[in-house]
């Protein structure tokens, strides 16, 4: 029996490991039963037997043997005289099983069947891929960088499926090279030209949530619940957590001993500062915690307007606002309240706007900040108020380092 070179078509099936065998058999059967209906007007008396391993198939025709001259339905019956030509031992009343040579259908019909089969296989692969990743939305996956473009990165998963990481879903500090393995969360599955496009994200709150789930067993086990995450990717994130076990400190469990659990996540997120706070239904307390690391003096709350005026000591205002206003923006997102920060002045003294040195940790190395703090310079203005010569004399920093620090601080204050 001719295999009509179906091996290539079956090879496509074998490579699509996610397509189960029953589905595969059904598709092939449907394609060739369509072929039978076109030639014989019916497929009722035909069996399509698929051998996917060898890459061929058989079509068996079933007909009942009847006396000569009593054939009423040529599709279902065969005359005795014709049956014995195939096998002399046949008798009236028996069933005749005859193999149909596919070449009898004609070259054009066979080619059309192959094209239909290839098309059905392609559609099945697309459907399987869309369902697979549709079920994994919100899950974290690893993939290899295959191609880096200006607006997006093309990645390949373990099975060679193409995934897209758009520039808008990358952390600003992300830089990847071909062949590099990266982690991201499945954001969504779009359909483009009838083909699934799997979009990944490293900026979504779900990405941070999944990283925490991996690093913190208590979250994975459900003992600690992440109530809300807000992020400014690569800059800062705030995570509100709650424990269902009074014996577990949710913040301590997430941070780990000496920050051991959170450090790996911070590195993955390109040194994104992560504030982990205890969730509470007390909105005043939640606002207070959300503005960490700043310490609040007092607060005026308007629950109807979802607005709060927050008063802090002058040295805490810069901490509450944060660099480029990131800290207060995230606090607003976390609490759902519009927050206005005011200095809690003593007398009529006007305090100059200042920024804590810790807010510059992405541009100034930690050991440099520690050295400046050692000599009492905790804020940007406290550094700028000293001359370069005095800083060089009081610290162990080199002249070039001091110049770089002053340049970074001056640029930020000039923006403000």
Q: How far is CA 206 from the centre of its chain?
A: 8
Q: Cα–Cα distances in Å, from 96 out to 40, 80, 91, 152, 239?
A: 17, 10, 10, 62, 74
356 token code pair: 């804590």
Sign of CA dihedral 118, 120, 121, 127: positive
In 3D, which of 184, 174, 183 has the Cα closest to residue 148? Answer: 174
Q: Look at the block and give the residue holding tokens 């051998």.
A: 51
Q: Which residue has the higher pLDDT, 371 or 184?
A: 184
Helix (H) or strand (E) holding 333: helix 326-335
Distance CA 18, CA 24 (A): 10
Which run of H or of E encompasses 300? Answer: strand 296-302
Q: How far apart are CA 395 and CA 336, in angstroms?
A: 44
Chain segment 48-100, per-residue pLDDT in tens: 777 655 556 778 778 888 888 777 777 778 887 877 777 777 777 787 787 77
Eight-state DSSP code of residue 258: G
46-51 and 56-66 beta bridge pairing: antiparallel
Q: How far apart are CA 159 and CA 18, in angstroms?
A: 10
Q: Which tokens in the block code for residue 175?
A: 């830089």
pTM for this predicted structure: 0.64
Distance CA 155, CA 146 (A): 5
Structure confidence by residue, pLDDT tens digits, 342-373: 887 654 444 556 788 888 887 888 888 888 88
Q: What percent of the chain has pLDDT over 90?
A: 36
Query: Would you state the structure tokens that stand for residue 255, as one six-digit string?
Result: 């941070």
Average pLDDT score over the chain: 83
Q: How much helix, strand and coil, in percent to the nearest 5, is found in the chain? A: 40, 25, 30
Question: What pLDDT, on a 0 to 100 scale, did the predictor assign at position 228?
Answer: 95
Distance, CA of 4 to CA of 86 (rounded, Å): 24
Name the burial class of residue 148, with classes exposed (0-12), middle (13-18) and buried (19+) by CB atoms within 10 angstroms of its CB: middle
pLDDT tens column, 269-322: 999 999 999 999 899 999 999 998 888 888 888 989 999 999 998 888 888 988
Alpha carbon distance 21, 14 (integer Å): 9
Report d(CA 308, CA 301) in Å as an integer.
Answer: 5
């Amino acid at each position: 029996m001719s295999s009509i070179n179906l091996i290539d078509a079956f090879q496509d099936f074998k490579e699509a490991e996610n397509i189960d065998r029953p589905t595969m058999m059904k598709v092939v059967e449907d394609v060739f039963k369509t072929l039978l209906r076109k030639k014989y007007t019916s497929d009722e008396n035909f069996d399509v037997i698929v051998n996917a391993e060898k890459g061929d198939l058989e079509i068996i025709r079933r007909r009942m043997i009847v006396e000569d001259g009593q054939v009423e339905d040529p599709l279902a019956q065969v005359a005795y005289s014709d049956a014995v030509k195939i096998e002399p031992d046949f008798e009236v009343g028996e069933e005749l099983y005859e193999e149909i040579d596919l070449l009898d259908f004609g070259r054009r019909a066979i080619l059309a069947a192959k094209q239909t089969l290839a098309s059905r296989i392609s559609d099945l692969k697309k459907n399987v891929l869309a369902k697979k990743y549709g079920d994994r939305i919100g899950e974290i996956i690893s993939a290899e960088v295959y191609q880096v473009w200006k607006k997006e990165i093309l990645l390949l998963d373990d099975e060679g499926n193409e995934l897209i990481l758009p520039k808008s879903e990358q952390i600003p500090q992300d830089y990847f090279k071909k062949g590099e393995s990266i982690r991201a969360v499945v954001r969504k599955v779009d359909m483009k030209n009838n083909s699934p496009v799997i979009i990944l994200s490293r900026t979504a709150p779900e990405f941070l949530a999944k990283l925490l789930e991996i690093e913190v067993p208590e979250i994975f086990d459900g003992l600690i619940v992440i109530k809300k995450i807000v992020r400014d990717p690569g800059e800062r994130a705030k995570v509100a957590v709650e424990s269902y076990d009074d014996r577990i400190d949710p913040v301590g469990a997430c941070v780990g001993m000496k920050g051991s659990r959170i450090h790996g996540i911070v590195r993955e997120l390109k040194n994104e500062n992560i504030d982990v706070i205890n969730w509470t239904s007390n909105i005043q307390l939640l606002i207070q915690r959300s503005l960490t690391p700043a310490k609040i003096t007092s607060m005026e709350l308007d629950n109807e307007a979802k607005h709060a005026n927050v008063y802090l000591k002058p040295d805490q205002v810069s901490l509450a606002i944060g660099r480029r206003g990131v800290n207060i923006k995230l606090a607003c997102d976390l609490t759902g309240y519009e927050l206005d920060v005011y200095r809690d002045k003593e007398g009529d003294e006007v305090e100059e706007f200042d920024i804590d040195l810790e807010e510059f940790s992405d541009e100034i190395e930690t050991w440099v900040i520690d050295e400046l703090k050692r000599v009492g310079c905790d804020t940007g203005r406290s550094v700028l108020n000293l001359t370069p010569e005095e800083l060089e004399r009081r610290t162990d920093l080199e002249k070039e380092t001091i110049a770089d620090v002053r340049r970074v601080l001056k640029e930020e204050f000039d923006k403000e």
